[in-house]
Structure 1
Amino acid sequence: MERRPTVVFLVVCLSVMTSLCQGQRSADLQLDEPLLGRTVTKLQEALQSLLSDSNAASLSVEKKAGVIPRCDVGERCAMKHGPRIGRLCDCLRGTACNTFFLRCY
C-alpha cells in the first residue's frame, strides 16, 4: 500500500514534464523553421553536386568489400602462399574447403 502514492506521484510528475517539454519543443520548431528550410536546400544542393560529380559515376558497384564469391564442389577454393593459405572463394552450404587439397568437398 505504500507504493501506490509513490507511483501516482511519479506518473503525475512524468505527465507534467512531458507536457512542458512538448510545449517548449513546438515553440522551438516555430522559431527555427526558416533556418531549417535553408539548411535543407543547402543539403540538397550539396548532394546534387556530389552525385553529378564524375567521381561518383566511377565507383565500382560489382566489387564489395568482404564479399567472397561462391564455388562449387570440386572447385579450387584456396591458394597456398608459403606458410599461409589465401581464400579464393567460399564453398557452398554443406561443403567445406579441404586445407590439404585446397578444394571444396
Structure 2
Amino acid sequence: MERARLCQLCLLGSALLLLGTPEPVPELRASREDTELAGLLQELLDEPGPRELPALEKRLSWVPWCARWESCAVRRGARIGKRCSCAPGTSCDLRILKCS
C-alpha cells in the first residue's frame, strides 16, 4: 500500500516538474520601438540637469567627508562648528581646524 502511494507521489512530482519547465524561447530581436526607447533614454541620461541631492545628504545629521589637510571645522567665537567629518584614519585637529 505504501509502495503504491510512493510511486504515485513520484509520478505526480515528475509530472509537475515537466509541466513547470519553460519552453525554449526563440531568439529575441530588437524591434524599432525598442531602439527608439533606448535612444530617448540615452538622450535623457546625457542631458545635464539639476542634480538632486541623495536622501542621505538631505538628512540634517549627515556631515560630508573631508579630505586630508582640508578644513574640517570653523571657529565662531568661543565655539567650534563642524563642517565635515575627517576620513577614516584621520582626525580633526582643533588647533589648526584641519584633518590630519
TM-score range, shorter chain: 0.3 to 0.5
Give the structure-1-normalised TM-score.
0.41
More helix by share: 1
